[in-house]
Amino acid sequence: MASKTISIRDDVYKLLKDAKREEESFSDAIERLLKKDKVNLSEYFGALKEDPILDRLEADSKRIREMARSRV
């Protein structure tokens, strides 16, 4: 396996060391931290369906749109 030497500041090294899990190598930790997890937004569809906050959000949204139209 090829390896590369990189230079990082001491404070960044400490952050990486603290984030590294006991069984991980630094390479494994960096790879884990850099991976972007894809979020499946469909899991959240309808999450507020029964929540009263949804009605307040809708009312606020309408009020803001009406205020924006009256300024033009």
Place of tokens 């009256």: 70
CB distance 29 to 18 below 8 Å: no
pLDDT value at residue 13: 97
Give the mean pLDDT of the chain: 90
User: Band of the pLDDT at 72, cuts 50, 70, 90?
Assistant: low
> How many residues can be counted in the chain?
72
pLDDT value at residue 43: 85
Question: Helix 26-34 crosses helix 10-19 at what angle (to 10 degrees)?
Answer: 90
pTM here? 0.49
pLDDT value at residue 49: 84
Distance CA 22, CA 36 (A): 22
